[in-house]
Amino acid sequence: MIVEMKNKVLKLLFVGAALLLSGCATMNKEECLSADWQLLGLTDGAKGYRLARLDEHRSACAEYGVSPDPIAYRKGYDEGIVTYCTPANGYQQGLNGNNYYGQCPANLHDAFAKAHEQGLQRYALQSEINALENELYRYEDEIDQLESDIRDKEVEYLQADEVSVRRRLLIELGRLRDDRRHLQYDLRALERDLSLKEHELLALPQYHY
């Protein structure tokens, strides 16, 4: 039983490793055998990959006995990266929260990086606003639930005949109202924080390209 279990585990690990390796490969056998390296370089450059992407292709195709054509790839890449490294795209990449790894040529780097930073600032602020809004909605839901619980306890209190029961319900009502008050205080603080972040977002300069 133990041996059988070990064999199953090893088999699963082997399959998992194979899937992982295949998932990490940038190219499959058919793509390696039929690759137009200049076109591939053009495509990778236009997508903003770093030049080291060629090394990943080399590793992926090695097991099929295929070696990339680095000259053709570089020729395509140099053309493609120019279409990626525009200020407009830099801003959009930052706005999408994508990192910039300095892959743009020196003559395009400064303008791209500046626009990317502007987009990234807006992305960061918008992310903070989204997080605050989600937190605010959560607090509002909790307050609504407390309001419902308080109403139920108030009904129970009015219907209770025994003094001991009424005392217990009064204590529970006091705790619920305290919880509601604390949440309402936190909610107001969240609303102030949200308002400040929204004003910060509005104050950011609009990017023109």
pTM for the model: 0.74
Tokens found for residue 118: 């502007």
Question: So what's the pLDDT on residue 209?
Answer: 61
**What is the mean pLDDT for each group of 10 consecutive residues in the chain (209 residues)?**
36 36 75 95 97 96 95 97 97 96 96 96 96 97 97 95 94 97 97 96 83
Helix (H) or strand (E) holding 209: none
Domain spans, the chain: 1-84, 85-209
> If you write DSSP's letter for every residue of 100-125 in order, what string do you get?
--S-S-HHHHHHHHHHHHHHHHHHHH
